[in-house]
Amino acid sequence: MVRLQFRIIEKPYKKGLRVYKHEEVTLNFPKELHELLRILRDKKLEIKGYREGNKIHLILGDKEEPTNKVSQ
């Protein structure tokens, strides 16, 4: 089972006169998947998702870097 954790992060700025707030969502995977996901360590990741009825499908993978090909 995967657990989603929702948090509100508050960071002061401008010498503490104002507070910047944003929501952070963490996806916690069970230990059985840690070894499988280890191949994604230190890589830029891309996440895509879509919804089918009551299910949400998330696709996690390597972010493909754009290539600078020159046409000749």
Would 43 be classed as within a structural domain? yes
Structural contact between residues 10 and 19, judged by C-beta atoms closer than 8 angstroms: yes
Would 69 be classed as within a structural domain? no
Would 71 be classed as within a structural domain? no
Q: Global pTM?
A: 0.56
Q: How confident is the model over 27-60, as pLDDT tens digits?
A: 888 999 999 888 888 888 898 999 999 999 989 8
CA nearest neighbour of 6 among 21, 22, 26 = 26
Is pLDDT above 60 for 61? yes
Would 55 be classed as within a structural domain? yes
Measure the CA–CA gap between 53 and 8, rounded to whole angstroms: 28
The pLDDT mean for the chain works out to: 85
Q: How confident is the model over 18-32, as pLDDT tens digits?
A: 888 999 999 888 999
Measure the CA–CA gap between 16 and 65, rounded to whole angstroms: 38
Output the pLDDT for position 71. 53
Task: Determine the structural domain holding residue 54 and report its residue range.
Answer: 3-15+23-62
Would 70 be classed as within a structural domain? no
When divided into structural domains, the chain yields a total of: 1
Would 10 be classed as within a structural domain? yes
Would 54 be classed as within a structural domain? yes
Would 52 be classed as within a structural domain? yes
